[in-house]
Amino acid sequence: MIEPEVRRLVSLRTRERRGLRQGGVSAYRSMWLVVLFDLPVGSQAERRAANRYRHLLQDEGFVMKQWSVYVRYFDSRAKAEAAADRLGAQAPPMGLVSMLFLTDKQYGLTRNFEGAAPRPTEKKPEQLALF
């Protein structure tokens, strides 16, 4: 008879191999949406539009990774695509906005550096915010 603790460890290893996270969310199905944008800021109206778009991203739960690069974790592709549709519909008329969809597994391979020193990769939130 297999002891319960051994059974639990075997189950966790099997889940890891299959790309499942704690709580049953697959690392291959959960998504990170990366929004990259290059918006004109030559006039005061353009600066206002660019700032409004940045605030929209923050209101949607995105965090700034770098200037003009924002990321957010979604537990499904459908939710990430719905957010991309909302954000795309509100993009300023001038400039370029691109959105990348990465699985949690792919995003986990990100390597960050500050100068030559490695920095840890962002982790998915422990609890999803409901809006």
Lowest model confidence (mean pLDDT) among 10-19, 91-100, 103-112, 115-124: 10-19
CATH of domain 25-107: 3.30.70.240
Q: What does pTM read for this prediction?
A: 0.74
CA distance linking residue 82 with residue 60, whole number of Å: 12
Measured CA distances, 121 to 99, 109, 116 (Å): 19, 8, 15
Task: Give the model confidence (pLDDT) of 54-103 as tens digits.
Answer: 999 999 999 999 999 999 999 999 999 999 999 999 999 999 999 999 99
Annotated binding residue at 38?
Answer: yes
CB-facing half-sphere around the CA of 61: CA atoms within 13 A: 16
DSSP 111: -
